[in-house]
Amino acid sequence: MNYLKSEEIMELFQNRLGKQAIIDSRIETKIAGIKKNTYQVIWIGVKPNFFKEAVKILVELHYPHFAIISGIDIDKEIELVYHFSIYYGEKGKEISINIFTFLSKDNLNIPTITDLIPGAQTSERETKEMFGVNFEGLPSLPNLFLPYDFPSGVYPLRKDEKGVGVKVSEGDEVKKGE
Amino acid sequence: MSNKTYSIPIGPVHPSLKEPMTFHFEIYGERIEKVHLAPGDNHRGIEFMGRQRNPIQIIYLAERICGICSASHPFAFCQAVENAMGIEVPEKAQYIRAIIAELERIHSHILWAGVAAHELGFDSVLFLSWRAREEVLDLLEYLTGNRINYGIFMIGGVRRDITSEQITRIKKTLDYYKEIYGKLEDIFLNDPTIALRTKKVGILSKEEAIQLSAVGPTARASGLNKDVRQDQPYAAYADLEVQAITPEVYSGKVNGDVYDRIVVRLLEIVQSIQIIEQCLANLPEGEIVAEEKLVKLLNLIKKAQGEGIGRHEAPRGEVIHYVKLNQSELPEVWKARAPTYNNLMPWIPMLIGQQIADIPIVLASIDPCIACMDRVTILDRKSGQKNILTKDDLHKLSVEKTRRMAQ
């Protein structure tokens, strides 16, 4: 198998997506053991409209192992970090690739990647429930980690979330807190 | 669905494991046609709790994500913080971390073997394997002070050293496992009834494993050559020759069934013993932690800015932690992902086409870290009639199937 170096992978992303699509990029080298072997971690920040294309490049390169989506609430934006790794199967060849993107809270839309990587469904559903991010193309499925009757519009892991309102009597509808 | 199918919800409490998780099965006769997963009964909001704690306190919270993986989560978490801050871990600490992690793997795999035997109706094997597990728990208590939740990990190293006196004791325990391993292998891999119940049951193909991002023994049993210790060696694993174990090593071919998952886990016990022996033979001298004074460490954390990921191959598969520090005592974000999270989706292809009596062993076969059951409700959609199957009924169905096949 033909393995690309981290620098070459980075170059590939820059060439395919264009300079304007990439917000930030860096390669980290980590050292381990007495023999001081190294492994590399790549971080690439892309604009949301180029995000799907970035994942496509990765899938063409080597079908990646998808780990998880980390969501971060940064004031008016939500940052999503997708953790992938490629080139597994051989000693010391694996490279971790983290693709991150920033979504404005007014427009929390990002295309789903479940058509490319079906295993991402669990994580997309979790991010949808916890942060209210809408994954375009993800079928509408019941809540995975929150109760099925959890009030809509309440996103527990957002930092500005006030929580669920007080339920006074049995017949009351549960509302968003204030 | 055709009106001939029945819907069976299983869970939140159920027989294959002692943790809550709900499954909804669409059944045609005895055959499973469709599966819907509904986890979340055990969601404790640990990542949210982490927001009110500093990274040193989070280590102990991470340890309590799971009672069995109580070395794996702090291992990955400490690595994530170290990567974010740029701390280099002393060599000796890297080795001690690997030793504790491998001891944990031995106890976890033997625990699983016992559970699997119980699901099939071999309670004598459950007692035998759990008796064997006691030895490693005693050793962990001797080394760290606790049978579980070891409290040995620290950002930048470990909290307790392994002395030469303790090495003798570790070797003694490893010898015990070498002795008993032959017996375990004989019971699990050569017993005709176990083979009947587990071969060609709960199959996951390699393509499905890749596409659904399966991890750990579940992925390896389907022939996917994937192990973080091999692919991206970290800590002491970088010095060792760790190879991902696939069932080919034992039987020459990959079926991706429950039997193959047993093979992979049993062989990994031997692999763990070898890793510990290599670690003990090459154990370097020196410091065990990069920064001994916690106040100083906390001050460094307060000044740090950056993000990092930490990965570790836990007994059930890859665990990954992500930490972002932003010049504050509290981390900006902490995300933890346990292996079962990625192994949720592979459950679906495994269960489809199986029988109700196979549910416990197939569910248990990925060694999930969430789930369990008290009763099953069989709902006849046509008549609306409900039959409640208790945990014991479902367990009985599984045991009866074993008996039938053994005759």
**CA–CA separation, B96 and B104 (whole Å):** 12
**Contact between chains at A92 and B237 (C-beta distance less than 8 A):** no
Kindly state the average pLDDT of the residues A141-154. Answer: 83
Q: What is the pLDDT of residue B394?
A: 72
pTM of the full predicted structure? 0.90
Q: Please report residues of A whose CB lies closer than 8 A to that of B286.
A: none
**Contact between chains at B83 and A30 (C-beta distance less than 8 A):** yes
Nearest to A35 among B239, B244, B333 (CB): B239
CB B112 within 8 A of CB B265: yes
Kindly state the average pLDDT of the residues A65-85. Answer: 93
Identify the residue among A31, A91, A125, A149 best suited for mutation to test binding to B, counting B beta carbons within 10 A and taking the highest. A91
Nearest to A156 among B48, B215, B324 (CB): B48
Q: Please report residues of B whose CB lies closer than 8 A to that of A117.
A: 211, 213
Q: What is the pLDDT of residue A177?
A: 64
**Contact between chains at A67 and B212 (C-beta distance less than 8 A):** no
Q: Please report residues of B whose CB lies closer than 8 A to that of A96.
A: 232, 309, 311
- Identify the band that residue A173 occupies on the pLDDT scale cut at 50, 70 and 90: low
Q: What is the pLDDT of residue A160?
A: 86
ipTM rounded to 2 decimals: 0.92
Higher pLDDT, A173 or B21: B21
The structural domains of chain B, with segments of one domain joined by +, span: 46-341, 373-407
Q: Which residue of B has its CA nearest to A98?
A: B309
Q: What is the pLDDT of residue B15?
A: 62
SS3 letters across B62-91: HHCCCCCCCCHHHHHHHHHHHHHHCCCCCH
Beta strand pairing call for A65-74 and A37-46: unpaired
Q: What is the pLDDT of residue B302?
A: 94
Domains of chain A from N-terminus onward: 6-136 (3.30.460.80)
- Identify the band that residue A141 occupies on the pLDDT scale cut at 50, 70 and 90: confident
**Contact between chains at A34 and B91 (C-beta distance less than 8 A):** yes
User: Does domain B46-341 correspond to CATH entry 3.90.79.10?
Assistant: no
Q: What is the mean pLDDT of each run of 10 residues along chain B (407 residues)?
A: 74 70 85 84 84 93 87 94 94 95 94 89 92 94 92 94 94 95 92 90 93 93 94 92 90 91 94 95 93 94 94 93 93 91 89 87 77 30 50 75 75
**Contact between chains at B342 and A119 (C-beta distance less than 8 A):** yes
**CA–CA separation, B184 and B356 (whole Å):** 28
Task: Report yes or no: A72 at the B interface, CB cutoff 8 Å.
Answer: yes
